[in-house]
Structure 1
């Protein structure tokens, strides 16, 4: 008598059913995992802005004014030897926050009595020999933004006639708010002029370093201090990279270096009909293009820090009238984040 052994195992049909079930589970769980990861990244981004807001308050408490969005050093007291490149531009707002963010060691790498475009602060062969080139600050980087390489200022310097070769600089995904660009002013129904009346900007050169909290008549809680402007080593339009367009071309990388005074921007308004998609008419300000307006890689909007240090998520559908009102520090507009 021959006994047949029963073979244990999956039939082909059973195997296919198991694979199908696993596929369904992965399809259900993957979006949840991705959402959880983005929530963690967004929380870290929010914490970065909170640290920057706290640093502004500590600076104002120590010096009785906020650090300048932009400032030229006085030519009469510029140290010897003079800057052969002629620039008197000093370091920007974010750089001057470093001592209040436990980054004094980075702050001390340069001579703040000299321009950031000065051979003393850009030792040859420039490039990675620059004191700040190897000193990125994680607080200035949003974890949701693409991990692009540091900014190369070489093309910018070449565009203005300075043959300095490569000059690598650590980037930032956040910007100080300097004022309203005329494009946003027009979108918001204002005059066709650019004004530097943001929380960290003024058109009065005598007051650039000396804006105080008490001069913010619209209220610190109603005025934007910092906003995301991320991924600026490449050009992005409505979430998609523009092929063949790099911010290193034509010197546009200038506003992505945390030490640069040009990091501060006047906020721009965009009309979809004027850029790439003629079917999207009308004015927008948030998440259109990462050139001179708030831009983030969080779904649905950007994170902003207000003058009082609070951090909020601003929807990309916000009215340009409301956004423009939140940009100005003394415009007298009756707007708030709840609108």
Structure 2
């Protein structure tokens, strides 16, 4: 389905409660849509969803020494644009691989519990993603941020910001048309994550970035001993 196709507008404006976290102050609103030029005038016409997956882990994270090299691949997550993944693809184990995490508040930009940018028709600056039907709602690859949530890549991966703000150019020079969301919730100390085996766990905002990257990787061979940090 195409979120930009006019025949789908009525469908994609439907709010689906199970896709929304009750703690999100933006829940229950129709507030996302594709940036220009997909829509010449940005319109909030897509209902939001708060849960997204990763395609992989940015190799830049390993270059900076933040994660292990075997974790840092663009295509080693639980979802893929190109590979037909099967359970056998998850050699790290389905209970050790993240499928979905919270990424709430999009397309507005939140940092450290505060809304710092309001997405709207008058501004092109927003997180790319949020609508439950949009491919850009996936989190692309893990690309941490600085402690203030402004610059990337960096060591902070949970609850620092809900996404990297797009500028005035779209497709973005760095991200293209892919999503720019980050793991973020309105819980005080972490996020809820679901794993490929169907289990759900609460991950602390203080989790070690290497452990978090290892949980995103489906086949990096990481030994995960202590998730609860």
Q: TM-score, normalised by structure 1?
A: 0.54
- Find 1:214's aligned residue among 84, 88, 99: 88
Pair 1:258 & 2:132 matched: yes
The superposition leaves residues 266-302 of structure 1 with CA deviations (integer Å, 9 ceiling, x where unpaired) of: 22212227738xxxxx722111110132111111111
1:284 aligns to 2:173 (yes or no): no
Aligned to 1:230: 104
How far 1:171 sits from its partner (Å)? 0.3
TM-score (norm 2): 0.77
| Aligned-pair Cα RMSD in Å | 2.7
Shift of 1:177: 2.2
Contact 2:149 2:161 survives alignment (8 Å): no
Matched residues in 1 for 2:30 and 2:115: separation? 17
Where do 5+ consecutive residues of structure 2 fail to align? 164-180
What is the correspondence of 1:317-332 to structure 2 with a 5 Å cutoff?
Answer: 317-332=206-221
User: Which protein has greater RCO, CA pairs closer than 8 Å, 6+ apart?
Assistant: 2
CA displacement at 1:250 relative to structure 2: 2.5
Distance 1:306 1:192 in 2: 17
1:268 to 129, 143, 158: 143
Query: What is the distance in 1 between the residues matched to 2:218 and 2:196?
Result: 9
1:199 corresponds, among 71, 74, 78, to 78
Cα deviation digits, residues 78-133 of structure 1 (max 9, x gap): xxxxxxxxxxxxx4xxxxxxxxxxxxxxxxxxxxxxx34334334xxxxxxx3221
Residue number in structure 2 paired with 1:144: 23
Structure 1 pair 293–169 and aligned structure 2 pair: CA distance change class (3 A): same
1:162-201 superposed matches below 5 A: 162-163=39-40, 166-185=43-62, 186=64, 187-190=66-69, 195-201=74-80
Q: Report the number of matched residues.
A: 203
Answer with 1 or 2: which has the greater Rg: 1
Q: 1:221 to 1:260 in 2, by over 3 A?
A: same
